[in-house]
Structure 1
């Protein structure tokens, strides 16, 4: 029997879990996988927005369940993942939720609370969820885990130490997990996008080179999963910049990075779809 994408070996629709599904890349991934015949578990902080995305997916014939959860609570996320997986085994876990923040020009340092929040949402909780997914997938000897990071992981960014540091941690974890799970038939893909037109990037004030749409980012992630890529960086130019970063001596690199400037609109001054109030 031929098994089509989005189907289990018995011909029934497979289940994908997507975090951060209430908007941005996560919402576009949900719509894409619904169109391709997957059933969906959609997680996010905003239940109303999740339900709106779920309605779009149900129009494609997908069975969709939503869960409103704040990923700052890592223990709740682990327990919820295991609960969902026990009910319907998850074949694809896309951990796309993330937060972005940076210090303002008037601040000498980032706020301690912000550093903790980004560390939990961008690194600790998705890594723990990936470990929970790995436990179940290794037992079944099938499955794929996707961790969405950022090209910021490649650079020490003085005005966004919490963001770049949390994404760097996720990158190293994903690389290690990929090596650990390869012998067990479980795939791991790390995604390192540049600027994507989402609510998070709209808060950034200043030049956003090679800005891509969220649907385009979703298609590139899905393609990387299909090809079982260990790491995908987009747009492609950032792959070249990553190589440049490796060969540039640290004193010169530090001089360049220390002169970068950027600003950000505070979260409270933006609507949920990333528009300024």
Structure 2
């Protein structure tokens, strides 16, 4: 594979950091984006171009990405997860914050970065296998990722005439700072390095839809065909509410 220029959001931790390692080790030019300037400084010492901004602040995105040149690959990976712990005291602010970080920000990122993607390039949107079936306490996270799924599939239709591919990614449970706070079983848990290797390979193959580990995602898809009372009882049995 010829060297490409790839921009990765959320590159300072979790899957984003492991993706950074994959692309740098493969000899590609990486633009690492995140909020943590100290961690970005460390990445810059690895030869990466770094870009510090908060994805929820449109003006910051605009100012800090203006100097970025053409991109072969745009990986929009940054995200957050906040659970609705007491549904009868629904936290509207937390809901809005998650939607803002995981979904609304993508619109701003596309506004400022999509014009930089070359013909023949690729856009990667990192969603979640949580959109296959609903999970308890995931009203905010699940809604944001379900919206991202629709955005990716709609974007693919409109952007095809520009010769740009869209890859939608549904990771399963991956050990990251976000999932470290989970208090429920996470079957088939992967390391961020394992997830990044799967993504690197799938992105390189220009897959439209990438989901892993398949022993989890296919199981969830199977559950979705069962009567609701069956899969709901299975999920509730394995989650703290």
State the TM-score, normalizing by the size of structure 2.
0.90
- CA distance in 1: counterparts of 2:80 and 2:49, whole angstroms: 23
* 8 Å contact kept, 2:53–2:64: no
What is the aligned residue count? Answer: 241
1:125-204 mapped onto 2 (5 Å cutoff): 125-137=105-117, 140-204=118-182
Cα gap change, 1:249 to 1:78, in 2 (>3 Å) = farther
Whether contact under 8 Å (2:172, 2:217) holds in the other structure is no
The CA deviation at 1:134 is: 3.5
Please give the alpha-carbon distance, in whole angstroms, between the structure 2 residues aligned to 1:239 and 1:257.
14
How has the CA–CA distance of structure 1 residues 147 and 79 changed in structure 2, closer, same or farther, with 3 Å as cutoff?
A: farther
Report the Cα distance in structure 2 between the residues aligned to 1:75 and 1:248, rounded to whole angstroms.
46
Structure 1 residues 205 and 223 mapped into 2: Cα distance closer, same or farther (>3 Å)?
same
Q: TM-score, normalised by structure 1?
A: 0.79
Task: Extract unaligned runs of 5+ from structure 2.
Answer: none
| Alpha-carbon distance in 1 for matches of 2:227, 2:164 | 37
List 4+ stretches of structure 1 deviating above 6 A: none
Counterpart in the other structure of 2:72: 91
1:31 paired residue number: 21
RMSD: 2.2
Which has the higher relative contact order, 1 or 2, with Cα contacts under 8 A spaced 6 or more apart? 2
Q: Point out where structure 1 has 5 or more consecutive residues left out of the alignment.
A: 7-13, 59-63, 264-277
Higher CA-based Rg: 1
Further displaced range: 65-74 or 194-203: 65-74
- Counterparts in 2 of 1:208 and 1:253: CA distance versus 1, 3 Å: closer
1:113 aligns with 2:93: yes
Call closer, same or farther: CA 1:75–1:109 in 2, change over 3 Å: farther
Relative to structure 1, the CA distance from residue 197 to residue 73 in structure 2 (aligned partners, 3 Å threshold; closer, same or farther) is same
